[in-house]
Structure 1
Amino acid sequence: MNVQEVRQMFPILDQEVNGHPLVYLDSAATSQKPKQVIEKLDDYYRRYNSNVHRGVHTLGTLATDGYEGAREKVRSFINAKSTEEVIFTRGTTTAINLVASSYGRENLGPDDEIVITPMEHHSNIIPWQQVAKATGATLKYLPLQADGSIDLKDVEETVNDKTKIVSVMQVSNVLGAINPIKEITAIAHKNGAIMVVDGAQSTPHMKVDVRDLDCDFFAFSGHKMCAPTGIGVLYGKKKLLDKMEPIEFGGEMIDFVGLQESTWKELPWKFEGGTPIIAGAIGLGAAIDFLNDIGLDNIEAHEHKLVQYAMDQLSNVDGVEIYGPKHRAGLVTFNCEDVHPHDVATVLDAEGIAVRAGHHCAQPLMKWLNVSATARASFYLYNTEEDVDAFVKALIKTKEYFGNVFR
């Protein structure tokens, strides 16, 4: 299937913005949705909208089958051992908070250490800050190389027998760095620590095998991988999830409720209190089917070619600084000399080109880069070299515009 055929599956791309054909280069923030996912959601709401697990009527059974069927699709997609290890959440942020609040607060004390990196998204920093404050544990940061990559020697020197949790993103949403998660996990385990992985930027773009990585927890969001907003996944090893307490209490997650005491359902439902995100899960299942049809290897290869093309084209534009390592995932974060990234994004939008500007929920990394903000163009399976050409042409126009303004 070629990229033009793929593009035809995304209705939103067939439009003009500010009088120009839409060039959507913000998939790292959220991806667009193919018609297969949109139609699946429409079918659920039109034909079998109902709550799950509780009812024995036909619609309830269809909804339950769709919801739990999506869980099996997730299990297969990331190669988890069992659906008991697949917890539906609102997204990566909720998933990491669940680990921090449940596992972290029970297993950390004043002599323990948590190790993360300065490149993490805020959702993989703030939960650990809060847990460290609550337990007295120490939050430590791995040093980064000059290009923003991680050297395993630094991991060996930072992680020690005091380390109880290591939490690292697999792909940076700013630098595009692809971190050596399998090797970091091995170092964490060698020192008796557990490994938590933020997979928000990796799962949509490359094959993920949690058993091969051997990580203890893995979190990702549906909306970055062609699924609806508001649905995500926490994978956890069963032996750890069994020992963890829920952090949300109410319907769905209980086994027995008495006047003074209650007991919980078995995995995975003890962590899914209240009416779950039924439509979102069904939509995620449809998105997984779609991505599997295209092929994750094909998506990764397409994005690799596209980002290399983009970096080659940008290298010919004077005054553009690109951040991150040469070998990277499908995004380019940059700044234009003497032009604020918000101004860059505004002018690009006037040309119909959507990019992201700001600190990208990574303020510690912005400080490490010695900038207040950056602009970011991120690519996905529906982007083309023509999109890159339009982006670079508009960027040159932006530089010329502001050069004339301040001349």
Structure 2
Amino acid sequence: MDALQRTTYDIGGLRYPQPFKIRRLGHFGFNVADLQGGIDFYSKLLGFRITDTRDFSKVPGREEMAKRLVDPRIVFMSHNSDHHAFLLAHKSLGAIFGDDAVSRDITVNQITWQVGTMDEVFAAADYFRGKQVEIRRVGRDMPGSNWHTYIRDPDGHTVELYYGMEQIGWDGRSKPEAMYYRAFREQPELPQISEEQEVRDAVAKGIDINAGNTIQDRSSEEYVVAGVRLPRPFKVTNIGPMSLFVADVDASEAFYTETMGFVRTEAVTYRGHRCVFLRNGGEHHSLSLFPKALRGELGLNPDTSVASMGVQVGSYRQLRDAVSFLKKNGVRQSDAIPSELYPGVDYAAHFLDPAGHCLMLYYYMERVGWDGKPRPAAERRKVGKEWPESLEPMSDSYADPAFMGPLG
């Protein structure tokens, strides 16, 4: 079909094949057997701040469901001003919500992609219905206040498109529970009032808008990171890419490119397996897809479809210091994932969380320019076993969006 004959959608005056345009990976979550162990690891060691805890046993209408949970809490965490960039829940929650409906190795409770407007969120819901994509729910969640459409990908992973994440400012307070009356469990009518009007309405109702949870990190600030005293010798500045083991790489690639609008940056063949790297912005990739057969060959955790989750720190020096810090604190390092499976990243270290999820710590990701072409593999930095004290910059070093600090 000629490109001009294809159905396209107007997004702010630009025409796209989908009625939405993904801007970035916004947040993700894991379901784990030991919730407290996960909280300690991600908050105390990696520095994610707890912004809110939602106890289902205290949520109206969820009391019976909470009785079937080993632990009824969902813990919301963030590394930036977003209300949450990461969620933790007990693995029993995944079973109740059907996250394991397709495959019992699904331990990621959501993979959430940010779009630019509310129109896109709900236009996406209609678009997915027309394509017979399973919709899990549409509406607005609290806490976090983000408007959303949830679907499943071909392997059963819960995928969310969202707009309007609550922001936590200098005072470190989240939105109070008394303002949760603006949640929606069904697709709302548009237009909706602004966030500013919501606050004015809450004040008019007599709600104490300063009564929300206060985020705190009570660890001693014993490290100096680029001129700032912090509890750790590094600062997480970004999350992603997400790397998944899937049943059929071609089918998953088709879903994420044709239905979701991702762009394939490159594909590699490793040990005879085709592996695909997809992006939705200027980064080399924000999502990678590997065949499940490769998981066993690499000796990775058979109980999760997550191959790795990227955690970016602020600099090469911070990466070196983070590796030393995590080793000192007894976190298990892994060399299971070879460099061929994270193209566009040079120096990286992989560690396992208490549930066995592999985390890729890195400081740099290649940027894809205006012509949409990645750097040729032969021109990428060669990484040896010995990491030098400092590096020569690449042409796109420190080309990521600046972290909208402060660091702590």
Fold shared per TM-score above 0.5: no
Instruction: Give the TM-score normalised by structure 2.
Output: 0.28
Instruction: Give the TM-score normalised by structure 1.
Output: 0.28
**Larger RCO: Structure 1 or Structure 2 (Cα < 8 Å, ≥ 6 residues apart)?**
1
Structure with the larger strand share: 2
